[in-house]
Amino acid sequence: AALRPVEKPLAGKTALVTSGPTHEPIDPVRYIANRSSGKQGHAIAAALADLGADVTLVSGPVTLPDPAGVRVVRVESARDMLAACQAALPASGLLDVAVCAAAVADWGVDVAPQKLKKQDGAAPPAIALRPNPDILATLSAAGPQRPRLVVGFAAETESVIDHAVAKRARKGCDWICANDVSSATGTFGGDRNTVHLISADGVESWPDLPKTDVATRLARRIAETLISP
């Protein structure tokens, strides 16, 4: 039978995916985190690999197994995630697609070098937050190293499309997958997702789907865009 390369439309293409939460250390034993499971980002990495892409998955701490056929780089904090993403950019040539699905902590902590101790009668320690780097915005503004296609997510509970359209402009990315996280099924940690794909062409609303199906649809859309003449 004839070979059917159409089944691996992303063969020879490179992809970077961020997934999971970040952990922002407070001291050697404590951290701030969020409820992201990594399910959506990991499913996207797997779906891109299924279509033949060379995929690097930069993941915060998750309990999921590594997807098959994907290079996995494990990180903890947002700063480490940015460094790992920058290290994953090819030395020559461009990354074809970056998908930022991680729930990156917006703020980190100046880490105490030793475990914070209780002191009799003393007030609880104050935790001062400082802004974290924005990985999606940094990749979108990477100048000559900018990936050909940059895709972000937006978790919104109200005015989902308006907020996501504004977020796309603010971040400078090509597409935003807006999640309606007010849906009764519970997107954070859950198995389903309702997505509106926002691009320069407008808004495409997808039905409520399992996260694996969202990943397959998104990977196919990425393939169509990257291979269209």
Task: Please report the beta strands in 39-194, taking only residues with DSSP state E, as ranges in sequence order.
Answer: 54-59, 71-74, 97-100, 107-109, 129-131, 149-156, 175-180, 192-193
Q: Which residues contact 104 (CB under 8 A, 6 or more apart)?
A: 18, 22, 60, 78, 81, 132, 134, 135
Q: Does 223 bind ligand CTP (CB under 6 A)?
A: no
Q: Is residue 51 a contact partner of residue 219, using CB atoms and an 8 Å limit?
A: yes
Q: Does 60 bind ligand CTP (CB under 6 A)?
A: no
List binders of ligand CTP among 5-24 (CB under 6 A): 18
Q: Does 157 bind Ca ion (CB under 5 A)?
A: no
Q: Would you say 13 or 171 has its CB closer to ligand CTP?
A: 171
List the one residue out of 160, 203, 210, 212 whose CA is nearest residue 181. Answer: 160
- Catalytic residue among 34, 132, 179, 193, which? 34
Tokens of 158: 């109200």
> Catalytic: 132?
no
Amino acid type, 44: I
List binders of ligand CTP among 134-163 (CB under 6 A): 134-136, 152-155
Q: Does 106 bind Ca ion (CB under 5 A)?
A: yes
Q: Does 166 bind Ca ion (CB under 5 A)?
A: no
Binding site for ligand CTP (CB under 6 A): 18, 78, 100, 102, 104, 106, 132, 134-136, 152-155, 167
Residues noted as catalytic = 34
Binding site for Ca ion (CB under 5 A): 106
